[in-house]
A and B are shown apart, each in its own frame.
Chain A
Amino acid sequence: MKRAKSEDGGPPRWMEALAAILLPPACREHILGDMRERYQSPGRYFIEGARAIPFVILSRVRRVANGGTLLLEAMGMYAAFLAAGRLEEGNLAGPLALWRLAVPPAALLCALLLGDTYAQPEERDGRSGLLYAGFAALAVAVAGDSLTVSRWVAIAGGGLSLLFVAGVRLYLPHGAGHTPLATGLAFARRETPVAGRRRHLPELSAVVAILVLLWLFHQTARFYHLVK
């Protein structure tokens, strides 16, 4: 059977380019090479890519996602939108107002995580995540009233959120080599001292998250006159 290959005997260029776009840069080089080495036909290449690439992306997300920092960033961004919500009357009114305000920070958080996943492996300051979050903030601002918050709240909240996240990333080391979720175990075994300021970050973030959630529930319950 005749194999459909590119000029140099590998997979079709468009297929390889598509796989290269989808794969995070940190694992692009060796996985593309491995897939090329195993190449038999375009169909098999496609199936192999479809079966491997989603897992590789998820694995990368797990490696770059620092639970504590992510929680801190999420809380900070929500607080930023909450503060921005006070700019205009009516933003904090209504039964689901506080929950509605959580939609833009959630979008920004997803963009942040995506940016971290597709960051260059040598990047340690988390600027890709910030860039992606910046685009998400812009998209939220453009979407404006059609989304859950008004345009001005989106602009102010997005700006404050980006400032907060930039501050967090400036203060805390970032990247796959600095994620307690991924490397904490290895750190513990090698008895490498973890920086003091990071040691209790996950616990602290969890406490803050619980307090914010309790406050949110209290506010919602107060609106419905369940509590005074």
Chain B
Amino acid sequence: MGRQDSLGQFEQLVLTAILTLRDDAYGVSIHAKVAELSSPKPVSLGAVYVTLDRLEDKGFVKSRLADPTPERGGRSKRYYQLEALGETALQESAVTAKRIWDAFCEVLGKDWARELSGKRWRKEPGR
């Protein structure tokens, strides 16, 4: 893959959110998932829309407008779906992240990694 195919960190978060949400990936749910993944960093709704547009332009995701719903004042939802290209790019990013993690573990030791994971997990219930 070329250099243009590499994903930014925020793009990785948005693609991961779409991947995990499957058929329920639309603006609000994607924003909620990205906010959860990037916690405690706040995420703006505008940043999510801009990234979704960019990912669509790159051919990583595709979107469709659903039927209007009354709880949204008769407005439609725009659902996003991961394309094969997006899935490949996300997989490559995950592999790279794994390599970085392994390198960290190798240098700083397994205890450090376990401690870091523990910190992360301990934070979850209190959020």
What's the dominant secondary structure at chain B's contact region?
helix
Contact (Cβ within 8 A) A33 B59:
no
B117 within 8 Å of A by Cβ?
A: no
- Residues of chain A contacted by B75 (CB below 8 angstroms): 29-30, 32-33, 36
| Residue among B4, B59, B71, B76 making CB contact with A30, cutoff 8 Å | B76
| Residue among B57, B77, B78 making CB contact with A63, cutoff 8 Å | B57
With A and B bound together, what is the CA distance between A55 and B54 in angstroms?
Answer: 12
Contact (Cβ within 8 A) A37 B45:
no
B97 within 8 Å of A by Cβ?
A: no
The residue on A at minimum CB distance from B44 is: A51
Contact (Cβ within 8 A) A183 B71:
no
Considering the complex, which residues of chain B in the window 38-57 have a beta carbon less than 8 Å from any beta carbon of chain A? 44-47, 49-50, 53-54, 57
Contact (Cβ within 8 A) A56 B49:
yes
Contact (Cβ within 8 A) A30 B27:
yes
B105 within 8 Å of A by Cβ?
A: no
Considering the complex, which residues of chain B in the window 71-115 have a beta carbon less than 8 Å from any beta carbon of chain A? 71-73, 75-78, 85
A-B contacts, CB under 8 A, total:
83
With A and B bound together, what is the CA distance between A170 and B29 in angstroms?
Answer: 41
B22 within 8 Å of A by Cβ?
A: no
CB distance from B72 to the nearest CB of A (A): 4
- Residues of chain A contacted by B27 (CB below 8 angstroms): 30-31, 33-34
- Residues of chain B contacted by A63 (CB below 8 angstroms): 53, 57
Of the listed residues B28, B53, B58, B71, the one surrounded by the most CB atoms of chain A closer than 10 A to its CB is B53
B37 within 8 Å of A by Cβ?
A: no
- Residues of chain B contacted by A56 (CB below 8 angstroms): 46, 49-50
* Binary CB contact string for chain A from 181 to 192 against chain B (1 if under 8 A, 0 otherwise): 011011001100
A to B CB contacts below 8 Å, 26 in the list: A10-B73, A16-B73, A30-B26, A30-B75, A30-B77, A32-B73, A33-B69, A33-B75, A34-B26, A34-B31, A34-B72, A37-B28, A48-B45, A52-B44, A52-B46, A55-B44, A55-B46, A56-B46, A56-B49, A59-B49, A59-B50, A63-B53, A183-B59, A185-B4, A185-B59, A186-B58
**Residues of A participating in the B interface, judged by any CB pair closer than 8 Å:** 8, 10, 16, 27, 29-38, 48, 51-56, 58-60, 62-63, 182-183, 185-186, 189-190
